[in-house]
Structure 1
Amino acid sequence: MPASKVPHNEIERLQALISLKILDTAEDDDYDNITELASFICNTPVSLISLVDKERQWFKSKKGMTACETSRDYSFCAHAILDPTEILEVADARLDPRFIDNPLTELDEPVIFYAGIPLRTENGLPLGSLCVIDHKPNALNQGQRDALKRLGKQVERLLLLRIMNRDLISTKDSLKKHNGLLKEFASIVSHDLKMPLANLILTSDIIKKKYNDFIDDTGKGYLDYLKKSSLSMSDYITKILEHYECIAYDVDDTQNFQINELLEGVIDLLNIKDNCEINLPENNIDILCNITALKQIFINLIGNSLKYNDKERTIIKIKASEIEGFYEFKIHDNGRGIEKEKLKTIFELFTIVGHLDNNGEKGHGIGLSTVQKLVHSLSGEISVISDLGSYSEFTFTIAKLK
């Protein structure tokens, strides 16, 4: 029995096979379904997805055979990969010079008929074959050959997806590592920036108190401005960090809860004043989602409704409902509203409406961008409608978890 020739690109071929990291992996239904179909369509008892290694052929999927691998010296597939563009079809291996005295033809269930379509990488490197085997002489008709080629293409797509998934996992691990380094760096920078700001705030208070009799009203105004600016910058740094390293992105805090219980907790955190009326949803629906992320969304949106309200009495109405595959929430307030030309960009980072809040502070344009990111992380969408001087209403959805 003559040994099969070695492909001219054997080194590259083996490197491509090894890079797949598929050899000796567990059974997989996606591959097994293809060998089942191949055997059925070609009317053969055996079908294999065979990958030709350096010294063996290993079966990723097998129908009608118990062995997991055989020696490459006896491999029919080692011959099939020599011409990676065509089906190798052997009607009766006992009469073919390449397979005379092949041990596989002398088994209790011998390999007599063989038809294999080579499996190739995107670069055309043959890795093995999808083959069908019979224990007696046989032949495929043209329809069966065409079907075997199409099934071979499906195997090639599965192999390509494996490469893509492997690359995605590698990229994810790399990004996770770099994001960890960036968070550590941001934390250090934040500390180094906020400490001098804290010193400025403290020093301005000390100067104002200790030298109060020697400073006129103009000087005291400058000290107040210095303190106010330092507090604003410290708050700005805090919000930037919250935007880029929000805990809700990294922590799976999925829980079952009722929406009104969550909202009552948010209201307690916001320390609502007496001149405010918040109407909770009439439907106290049960929700399964990341409670940390949803809570942060409501804190930001309700907080904005409180800060940017110019009415004597603030009225906020919250609605909750269930639609197909999603929960939907609406937050309607009677505040000062938003200009139409600014509605399209309101969720962009650092975009500000320009209004001062009830404390005389101008927003940083970070909060709504963070809200949108959180909503997207929950597979939802957010939108806003508004009438200047009358109301604003934010509507957002989050996907239901199964």
Structure 2
Amino acid sequence: MKNPPIPSNEADRLKELYSLKLLDNLPDEDLDLITKLASDICGTKVSLVTLIDTNTQVFKSKHGTELEKTSRDIAFCSHAINTPDKMLIVNDATQDERFKDNPLVTEQPHIAFYAGMPLSTKDGLALGTLCVLDSKPKVLSASQIESLKSLAKLVERLFESKQKSLDLEKVYDQLKLHKDQTEEVAYTIAHDLKNPLDSIHGFLELLQHESGTSLGDEALEYIDYAKQSTQKMTSLIYEILAFAKVTSQRDEKEQVDVESLIQNIMELNLPTIRSENIEIEFNNLPVINTSKVSLSSVLRNLIGNAIKYRAAERPLKIKITIKDKIDEWLVKVSDNGKGIEERNLEKIFRPFYKENNANTDGVGMGLATCKKIILNLGGKIWVDSQFGERTTFSFTIPK
């Protein structure tokens, strides 16, 4: 028996093999389809996708055998990877000087025929093979050889897809780290600003209370302005804190009665709803499996926005519907309020954005928070509006 030589690029070959994590998650269902097809085309009992590790030949996919690995020094594929662009064919291993006394030939599984096409990266690093073998000598036709080569190319494409998937995972991890760090900084800054603002507001009240009228009307007016400014800044900080707390970690899902959720939101706004004759319409809404906290936050913001930006010339009507879209729920919150100018439709989900004509409280974080929540749930959110007439916010929640 002739021992297989070690490829000259062995270190790079093994580095690539490990970086792709191909030795993990065995077996592979996609590859199992290919190995079965290889055996069917070539008329062999066994077909394998092999990976050559330091001392072991590992079967990433197998058809027709229960073996999971062999020693590298007796593996036919260890010979094949030395010629990355060429198929190794052994028509009768019992008559081949390299293999006739090989334990895989003289003992189980008694290999007599072998054909293996190396599986190479774009840099020419052969990681293993797609091979077919049988216990009887055999000669493949030209079309069978070409088919086996084509299947090997398909395996290589799957390996390339694996590489791209790993690259995307790295990018995702980096983005998540950056996102988490950004949110942590925002939370820390907002939290640290809140305390001195509270102190300033307290000192202003103390000054206003103890000085009485001795400061004069103009000075007291300036103190009121300063207090209003600190209150606005405090509101801004609270909204930044709320936004920063909405992380990519999803809340625990549960069965949510959406109608009860809306009733609770209506009770929070009951004085305004009664005094302004606001109508909120919803009928036969389903119970859906999602995060109750997240869904409540989104609906509360959207209903609150509709109330905040209602038209003065007509009573506000809000309609909430939910459609079953097979693999997701489509939720719509429509109103007949002021509407949004078309040029501003893409801006409204930005943090701190407010309509130029909006004379309302708030700092413009509500819709940004809604978008963040929906994206974290795996859905999407968008808006359709006709300025001066109506607005519909739509979002999806995956089932």
Q: Same fold (TM over 0.5)?
A: yes
Within 5 Å, which residues of 2 pair with 1:82-121?
82-121=82-121
More deviation in 99-108 or 224-233? 99-108
Helix, strand or coil for the counterpart of 1:250? coil
Change (3 A) 1:172 1:105: same
Paired position in structure 2 for 1:252: 251
Helix, strand or coil for the counterpart of 2:282? coil
Within 5 Å, which residues of 2 pair with 1:38-77?
38-77=38-77
Helix, strand or coil for the counterpart of 1:211? helix
Q: Does structure 2 retain, via aligned residues, the 8 Å contact 1:32–1:61?
A: yes
Deviations 1:175-201 (A, max 9, x none): 555544444433332221111111121
Helix, strand or coil for the counterpart of 1:48? strand
Paired position in structure 2 for 1:397: 395
Alignment-mate amino acid for residue 351 of structure 2: L
Paired position in structure 2 for 1:384: 384
Give the TM-score normalised by structure 1. Answer: 0.89
Q: Does structure 2 retain, via aligned residues, the 8 Å contact 1:311–1:334?
A: no
Q: Hey, what's the Cα distance between the residues in 1 that align with 2:171 and 2:343?
A: 39
Helix, strand or coil for the counterpart of 1:49? strand
Paired position in structure 2 for 1:309: 310
Q: Hey, what's the Cα distance between the residues in 1 that align with 2:221 and 2:283?
A: 49
Within 5 Å, which residues of 2 pair with 1:3-402?
3-23=3-23, 25-173=25-173, 175-177=175-177, 179-247=179-247, 249-270=248-269, 272-273=271-272, 274-276=274-276, 277-309=278-310, 311=312, 314-325=315-326, 326-358=328-360, 361=361, 363-377=362-376, 378-388=378-388, 391-401=389-399
Q: Does structure 2 retain, via aligned residues, the 8 Å contact 1:259–1:287?
A: yes
Q: Hey, what's the Cα distance between the residues in 2 that align with 1:184 and 1:41?
A: 58
Deviation of the 1:209 alpha carbon = 1.5
> Number of residues paired by the alignment?
395
Helix, strand or coil for the counterpart of 1:383? strand
Unaligned runs of 5+ in 2: none
Helix, strand or coil for the counterpart of 2:371? helix
More deviation in 63-72 or 173-182? 173-182
Q: Does structure 2 retain, via aligned residues, the 8 Å contact 1:318–1:331?
A: yes
Q: Does structure 2 retain, via aligned residues, the 8 Å contact 1:260–1:280?
A: no
Change (3 A) 1:356 1:21: closer
Alignment-mate amino acid for residue 119 of structure 1: L
Alignment-mate amino acid for residue 127 of structure 1: L
Q: Hey, what's the Cα distance between the residues in 2 that align with 1:200 and 1:312?
A: 41
Change (3 A) 1:340 1:11: closer
Q: Does structure 1 retain, via aligned residues, the 8 Å contact 2:114–2:133?
A: yes
Unaligned runs of 5+ in 1: none
Give the TM-score normalised by structure 2. Answer: 0.89
Deviation of the 1:160 alpha carbon = 3.1
Q: Percent identity?
A: 35
Q: Hey, what's the Cα distance between the residues in 2 that align with 1:354 and 1:24?
A: 56
Change (3 A) 1:157 1:290: farther
Helix, strand or coil for the counterpart of 1:8? coil
Q: Hey, what's the Cα distance between the residues in 1 that align with 2:215 and 2:208?
A: 8
Change (3 A) 1:123 1:365: farther
Deviation of the 1:319 alpha carbon = 2.4
Alignment-mate amino acid for residue 382 of structure 2: I
Helix, strand or coil for the counterpart of 2:347? coil
The 4+ residue runs of structure 1 with deviation greater than 6 A are none
Deviation of the 1:154 alpha carbon = 2.7
Change (3 A) 1:57 1:329: closer
Q: Does structure 2 retain, via aligned residues, the 8 Å contact 1:93–1:113?
A: yes
Q: Aligned-residue CA RMSD in angstroms?
A: 2.5
Q: Hey, what's the Cα distance between the residues in 1 that align with 2:34 and 2:127?
A: 17
Q: Hey, what's the Cα distance between the residues in 2 that align with 1:54 and 1:324?
A: 51
